Structure 1
Amino acid sequence: MLGERLREAVAKSKLTAEEVANGLGVSKSNLYVLYKKDSFESEYIKRASNLLGIPMSYFLDEQQSFSPKSKDGGAFGDAILQEIREEMRMLREQLNVKDQQIAGLQRTVDALVGKSKGVTIPQLSDEEIAFETMFRQYRQLALGNQPYVILPKHQFSAARR
């Protein structure tokens, strides 16, 4: 029920009922009347949304039918509803794309860390670790604190011979 959603939103806000009524352009007693309605003018939804800082979609549940009683015969309210539904559809599509991107990135991270099935990270032997340590010491003596490049394993093995 639309009025119940409005009541919940007002209760969760830091505004008083009188402040909300003024923001909606109704008296405090009419605000309480709105709480009991199943539908009301679409303009109230827009004002409440802006005033309370919540999306208009909070008031509109796609599962429930909503027919605004506006001065334009509902055309304005229908247009807003259609806009909101289209925006929600686009946001759902974007969310699905982002979920797929995150899943792909997670697979990449897992593969890099070695958590994926069948992916193993080769361990260096004691001999290779000793050679790497000597190589770093030699580079530091020869070049000082300048950066150096670690050779890939196949070049590393050839360099040792």
Structure 2
Amino acid sequence: MITGSGDIARLFSLFHDGGIKQYELKQDKLILEVGILYLAQRISPELKGFHVELEISGPIKFVTWPDHETKESRTLTDLEFIMSTDLQILEAKDDDGTVKVTCAQHAFPSDFIGGDLFVRTQIATVWDANHTCYSIEFLENLCKSYWEEWSRR
């Protein structure tokens, strides 16, 4: 279990370049399937990503980046639409108890190219397809070893 919005923001930053593939909302829990081959396959070649369960305490919103300077940013609250846009995680920050996940969006024909996903949460659980749970420390070490190896190429 990962606690605190700061550590949960760190978690999403570790998933840089990962894509939100699926979601499920069950009352106060948002479950995301994050596809991130380069990290998951460091654990096992058959893995494709991780599941992230967030205990949420408020509405979820997505503030768009318009695709043209003349267009205005919009605030979206329809979770089904937000998650249908193939969001790619860039980084995340803690914004006073709310996790702000900055995402690109290239695959969906729309008037926006990305934006910020805001989720109020203090508790997260991460596991893989084999139901193995992971700590933030384990994932940080996994990510660090990947980037160190990558920089030596």
Structure with bigger helix share is 1
Q: TM-score, normalised by structure 1?
A: 0.21
Structure with bigger strand share is 2
Rg comparison, structure with higher value: 1
Q: TM-score, normalised by structure 2?
A: 0.22
